A and B are shown apart, each in its own frame.
Chain A
Amino acid sequence: MQFTEEHEHFRESMRRLVDEEINPFVDEWEEAGIFPAHELFPKLGEVGAFGLEYDPEFGGGGADHSFTYVMAQELGRIKCAGVPMAIAVQASMATPALARFGSDELKKTYLEPTLRGEMVCSIAVSEPDAGSDVAGIRTRAVRDGDDWVINGRKMWITNGTQADWLCLLARTDDSQPGDYHGMSLIVVPTTTPGFSVGRKIEKMGNHSSDTAEIVLDDVRVPISNTVGEAGRGFQQQMAQFQDERLVGAYIAAVGARKALDRTKDYLQQRIAFGKPLLANQYLQYKLAELYADVDTVEGFLQYAADKYLAGNDVTREATVAKLKTGRLTREVADACVQFHGGMGYAEEMWVARYFRDARLASIGGGADEVMLRVITMMEGMGKK
């Protein structure tokens, strides 16, 4: 990737926004178990953080992927994982399919205000009984004249208690149950009668991000709210997952390096056995090993970003990036806790939060085993 003066100016805008509008409030939002999406997102919309790569005719930036990379790196500097996740949902997880396949009218009504940050959105795929096995979802949309009538439950929905609309994956054709075919992505406004938030889920980490269980009880939306062609939802969602996984990995890699830097500083300050803890070669080598791993992952992410930039399919790269960054994040977080001793276990320092948040990296957006499953199939092992 070639970074120009424009990249640096955009980085500076993102950095200032993070330093001035986000980081000072993270502790408060973590405590509250939610962040004010409708207050924060317009600020992100104003700098163009949403829809960087989308069509300028519908509020996008018309940028190439290198700017998404820069944005994600700056989101990685946020003092928690919940807020960047919520931002990434709006920027790269719930909107790519709508931007790629949605009708002009859908894009005018939903995409444009979302990119301005005036609307908040969610991606609703997972269900109480189907997460890893996306093809096993049960939420059903039945055609009734010009409408879909939707019934079902969605689980783990990020931004779910504050969203204005969901990009919802539903089964729209029952002829082949449990199959990939016959699913559609549908835009569902949360003000539609029959839509309700079942509950806000209490989580181990990512406290500042609200996660909801959603109930859909005879929710009626126009057929024209279908994103692209009905019956293509599964494929569209699989493509949308590539953006999600890459961006998630870009954010996490920066977080891991920052955590190592902060741990190194702490070990330099902390005196034990008459000298700074960092003078201990065992600790130095452990950190060096982790730095080397972060370097390797970062190199791979740049390679993946370049490949994406050149217009190639990056399913393999996004899968590997998700798997390796997730695991490394957990390993780094574990080392940070360990080397901080009791302070690593106390809520008064950043480390405990990082440790809790890091655990999600191997679950959300597809568990490690699901990534392994994808690679397995690509390598001709197991069956499709």
Chain B
Amino acid sequence: MKIAVCVKQVPDTWAEKRLKPEDSTLDRESAEGVLNELDEYAVEEALRLIEAQGGEVVVVSMGPERAGETIRKALSMGADAGIHIVDDALHGSDAIATSAALAKALEGRGFDLILFGSESTDARMSVVPAMVAERLGLPQLTFAQKVEVDGSTVRIERQAEYGYDSIEASAPVVVSVVEKINEPRYPSFKGIMAAKKKPVDTLTVADLGLEPVTVGLAAAWSAVDEFAARPPKAAGTVIADDGAGGVKIADYLSQQKFI
């Protein structure tokens, strides 16, 4: 089985995120870059599948030079090879362009399964997996809390508020995973050292056969016109309990339209 896992480098979840005043894009230098948390679950799931059934795991990431660290992180967990899409022309790409680049990189490589996290922690659009599936003309099994591969049939439990839906499709398929699916491993010392020697191909926009004008900030379908820092937290309202505290709290909640 040949599995691709799309992984994104995102600013550290706990770091303060900032937009750059020059072009209103995320300042990716200001915070440490980490492997998007949900993508770690996707890598783990891919590793478990090939540990059980044999095969190969390739991680694919689009991002600046330093996203290479994120690819190596996934390789240190146990993935076999990496593809790094890196090109200055991609800076500021929206989900549409991101999905185009990823689809081109994935196309024609014979993947049976293409795994994604279900959401990035920075932009949180949750759309890239569906867009990539559409571009590749593949079935999409999204929000999987469980994945089973039985020959060419891929079955998932799709997480829902009421429980889950069981859905299946024939490989090749696109699958996005949720946190519930597994417990990602910690990269081991040996895995970390082995990752140094694993192959990582780099691809440019030209290599992908995309027109540079179709990607990047200028091509984005939406634009950030203005942004402002979140206002500091206002002081809370203190209600002294003189015996009617409960009523006052209820009044407050109803004023705020909570009740």
Contacts and interface: CB of A to CB of B under 8 A. Distances in A.
Q: Which 9 pairs between the two chains have the least Cβ-Cβ distance?
A: A48-B189, A13-B186, A48-B188, A9-B192, A61-B189, A47-B188, A47-B186, A13-B187, A6-B192
Contact of A46 (B72, B76, B186, B193): B186
Most chain A beta-carbon contacts within 10 A, residue among B76, B186, B187, B189: B189
A67 B188 CA distance: 12
Contacts of B72: 5, 9
A9 B188 contact: no
Interface in B113-135: none
Interface in B189-214: 189-190, 192-193, 195-196
Contact of A52 (B69, B73, B189, B195): B189
Interface string A43-57: 000111100100010
B185 interface: yes
B187 A9 contact: yes
Nearest to A70: B189
Given A6-B196, A9-B72, A13-B192, 13 more contacts: A5-B69, A5-B72, A9-B73, A9-B76, A9-B187, A13-B187, A46-B186, A46-B188, A47-B189, A48-B189, A49-B189, A61-B189, A63-B193
A52 B192 CA distance: 13
A10 interface: yes
Contacts of B189: 10, 13, 47-49, 52, 61, 63, 67
Q: Main SS of the interface on chain A?
A: helix
A283 interface: no
26 contacts: A5-B69, A5-B72, A6-B193, A9-B72, A9-B73, A9-B192, A9-B195, A12-B187, A13-B186, A13-B187, A13-B188, A13-B192, A16-B186, A17-B186, A46-B185, A46-B186, A47-B187, A47-B188, A47-B189, A48-B188, A56-B190, A61-B189, A61-B190, A61-B193, A63-B193, A67-B189
Nearest to B68: A5
A262 to B, nearest CB: 19
Interface string A1-43: 0000110011011101100000000000000000000000000
Interface of B: 69, 72-73, 76, 185-190, 192-193, 195-196
Interface in A314-335: none
Contacts of A63: 189, 193
Nearest to A13: B186
Contacts of B188: 13, 46-48
Contacts of A16: 186
Contacts of B190: 48, 56, 61
B192 A10 contact: yes
Contacts of B195: 9
Contacts of B69: 5
A47 to B, nearest CB: 5
Contacts of A14: 186
B224 to A, nearest CB: 32
A272 B12 CA distance: 37
Contacts of A12: 187
A15 to B, nearest CB: 9
A13 B78 CA distance: 14
A46 B78 CA distance: 13
A58 to B, nearest CB: 14
A14 B187 CA distance: 9
Contacts of A46: 185-186, 188
B142 to A, nearest CB: 27
A178 B189 CA distance: 43
A67 to B, nearest CB: 7
A95 to B, nearest CB: 16
A3 B69 CA distance: 15
A12 B193 CA distance: 14
B187 to A, nearest CB: 5
A231 to B, nearest CB: 35
Nearest to B185: A46
Nearest to A5: B69
Most chain B beta-carbon contacts within 10 A, residue among A5, A61, A63: A5
A52 B193 CA distance: 12
Nearest to A8: B69
A275 B173 CA distance: 63
Contacts of A48: 188-190
B126 to A, nearest CB: 25
Nearest to A71: B189
Contacts of A6: 192-193, 196
Contacts of A9: 72-73, 76, 187, 192, 195
A56 B190 CA distance: 10
A53 B156 CA distance: 43
Interface in A178-202: none
Contacts of A10: 187, 189, 192
Contacts of A5: 69, 72
Contacts of B196: 6
Contacts of B185: 46
